Amino acid sequence: MSESSNALPVVTRFAPSPNGPLHLGHAYSAIVAHDLARESDGAFLLRIEDIDGPRSKPEFADAFRRDLEWLGLEWEEVPAQSTRLDSYDEAANSLLERGLIYPCTCTRKQIAALPMREGKDGVEYPGSCRGQHEDLEPGPDTALRIDIDRAMEQTGELIWTDEELGSVVTDARALGDVVIVRKDLPASYNLAVTLDDAADGVTVVTRGKDLLESTHVHRLLQALLDLPVPHWHHHELVLDEDGEKLAKRRGSPPLSDRREAGEDGLVLAEQVRLRKFDVGN
Ligand code: GLU
Ligand code: ZN
């Protein structure tokens, strides 16, 4: 850990989405956040990110709490995302009024057929709906996307600080005009997580390196919405024997299975701290 974060109590959080069980990668993420807070006598928060429509299930959130307890972690739970929809609406309205986000009616199929720039995830949306449907409200057929060029022009140069990478100049263009309010949901991950981390007083945002690009978008949103700016700690990912990121869809064994099978969670947590992973496959 860097010296700078030793000085003041830090507030970290673990923010899982209850649309599937936790696996070892989540355990690592939670432990990193937990230990960072404990080292400074700060606070470790649990926030359930449950705005994923019918995919969000309370049973998963219940299992998360048992998993964390099994790993020997202590936390303070803050309100779940589903209770914070008004704050998402308010922020989206403010961005919309300032012409920083715009309605997009493109379907997945239309987007797939558009001439794309190569982006981080293969392709990115080129902004074809920009200036096209000013009067549309978000709804089942309309998302709201950020006008990234306009937004970056408005904020000027922004810096964010990662405990390992140091100062990073924000360039939110890598992901294109990302969605801020989804068609099917009251916000996007990017909007909700940025607002919530600010509301919860998070001072060090810990998450996997796979989300580095999103941090640029979050830094931009903080500037546009006048939110406090935390530090970031992007940690290494937990990889399986093939060097692939552990993920639910790859069938990585859920922590809950290991817990229910009687494995010692405290021993596992220690292995995780030492990055000696038994991925359990
Ligand atoms: N709910 C997000 C996830 O589970 C949180 C990511 C983050 O920590 O920002 O991937
Ligand atoms: Zn569009």
How would you class 10 by CB atoms within 10 Å of its CB: exposed for 0-12, middle for 13-18, buried for 19 or more?
buried
**What would the mean pLDDT of 99-112 be, rounded to a whole number?**
90
**Does the pLDDT at position 249 exceed 70?**
no
Ligand nearest to the CA of 192: 1
Ligand 1 nearest-atom number relative to CA 208: 8
**Does the pLDDT at position 122 exceed 60?**
no
104 C-alpha to ligand 2 centroid (Å): 4
CA gap 34, 209 in Å, rounded: 17
Inter-CA distances, 239 with 21, 25, 261, 263, 281, Å: 17, 8, 23, 21, 12
Query: Ligand 1 within 6 A of 193 CB?
Result: yes
How many CB atoms sit inside 10 A of residue 129's CB? 20
**What would the mean pLDDT of 46-53 be, rounded to a whole number?**
96
Query: Ligand 1 within 6 A of 49 CB?
Result: yes
Weakest-pLDDT range from 45-54, 112-121, 184-193: 112-121
CA gap 86, 255 in Å, rounded: 33
211 C-alpha to ligand 2 centroid (Å): 24
55 C-alpha to ligand 1 centroid (Å): 15
Ligand nearest to the CA of 128: 2
Q: What would the two tokens of residue 276 be?
A: 């000696």
Query: Ligand 1 within 6 A of 19 CB?
Result: no
What DSSP element (H or E) covers 154? helix 148-155
- The residues facing 43 across adjacent strands are 11
Q: Which amino acid is at 18?
A: P
pLDDT for residue 2 = 46
105 C-alpha to ligand 2 centroid (Å): 5
